[in-house]
């Protein structure tokens, strides 16, 4: 079964890659590589399935250069049409950490979305669910309207009382002014009579 999945080019690549990878095996092991990551045969035809990097056809490139980084990344580099081309390969432990970090980030995003949803539930409620809340809002509005009408009535009563007091004060001032004028006219008439009596000696106040 496995022999059917391996063609001639893959076999050549494996024969070139195996001695090179075994020569740096201690370094690869320290950075997280396993022999399954290097030499595993996939269940399906390449590139499907999980194949080790020793089966990659990139090993057949004549001017290929391989470098191992500190984080375990193997960099394949070659020139193609006057341009440098790079291809990378990483161990399975790297991808496990990568997916764990992504899963934690996704969980945080989902929790944030749930918090947003819980904070804005009114936006996502159906009409039947919104009805009781609308009734409460309408009741509050009617109570506020009634309060405003009461305060308006109080204000109108105060204004009417103030206008009535102003009218009464104006009327009292008018009557007081009339009585004062009458007294002044009476005093004038009395003085005129006194002056006439002194001049003529005749009493005219009868």
| Radius of gyration from C-alpha coordinates of the chain | 54
Q: Are residues 82 and 151 located together in one domain of the fold?
A: no
What pLDDT sits at residue 77?
96
Q: Are residues 84 and 131 located together in one domain of the fold?
A: no
The answer to whether the predicted template modeling score (pTM) of the entire model surpasses 0.95 is no
User: CA 54, CA 16: separation in Å to the nearest integer?
Assistant: 8
| DSSP 8-state assignment for residue 177 | H
Domain finish residue from 41, 74, 90: 90
Question: What number of helices (H) and strands (E) belong to the chain?
Answer: 7, 3
Domain range spanning residue 139?
A: 125-200
User: CA 104, CA 145: separation in Å to the nearest integer?
Assistant: 51
Q: Are residues 11 and 85 located together in one domain of the fold?
A: yes
What are the residues whose beta carbons fall under 8 Å from the beta carbon of 17, sequence distance 6 or more?
53, 54, 55, 56, 59
Domain total of the chain = 2
Nearest 5°: phi and psi at 73? -80, 125
Nearest CA-CA partner of 68 in 18, 19, 16, 28? 28
Domain annotation covers residue 113: no
Contact at 8 Å (CB) between 43 and 82?
Answer: no
Domain annotation covers residue 99: no
Q: Are residues 79 and 150 located together in one domain of the fold?
A: no
pLDDT in tens, the chain (206 residues): 567 788 999 999 999 999 999 999 999 999 999 999 999 998 888 888 889 999 999 999 999 999 999 989 999 999 988 899 999 999 988 888 888 888 766 666 666 666 655 555 555 555 555 555 555 666 666 666 665 655 556 666 666 666 656 655 555 565 666 666 666 666 666 666 776 776 776 444 44
Nearest CA-CA partner of 7 in 64, 59, 57, 62? 57
Domain annotation covers residue 74: yes
Q: Are residues 79 and 158 located together in one domain of the fold?
A: no
Q: Are residues 130 and 76 located together in one domain of the fold?
A: no
Domain finish residue from 39, 63, 90: 90
Q: Are residues 82 and 9 located together in one domain of the fold?
A: yes
């Amino acid at each position: 079964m496995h022999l059917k999945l391996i063609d001639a080019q893959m076999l050549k690549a494996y024969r070139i890659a195996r001695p090179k990878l075994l020569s740096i095996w201690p370094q690869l092991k320290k950075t997280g590589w396993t022999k399954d990551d290097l030499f595993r045969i996939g269940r399906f035809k390449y590139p499907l399935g999980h194949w080790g990097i020793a089966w990659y056809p990139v090993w057949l490139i004549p001017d290929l250069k391989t470098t191992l980084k500190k984080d375990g990344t193997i960099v394949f580099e070659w020139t193609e049409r006057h341009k440098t081309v790079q291809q990378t390969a990483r161990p399975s432990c790297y991808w496990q950490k990568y997916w764990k970090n992504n899963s934690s980030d996704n969980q945080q995003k989902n929790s944030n979305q749930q918090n947003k949803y819980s904070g804005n539930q009114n936006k996502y409620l159906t009409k039947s669910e919104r009805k009781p809340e609308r009734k409460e809002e309408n009741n509050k509005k009617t109570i506020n309207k009634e309060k405003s009408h009461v305060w308006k009535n109080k204000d109108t009563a105060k204004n009417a009382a103030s206008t009535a007091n102003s009218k009464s004060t104006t009327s009292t001032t008018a009557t007081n002014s009339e009585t004062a004028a009458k007294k002044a006219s009476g005093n004038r008439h009395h003085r005129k009579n006194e002056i006439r009596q002194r001049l003529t000696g005749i009493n005219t106040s009868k």
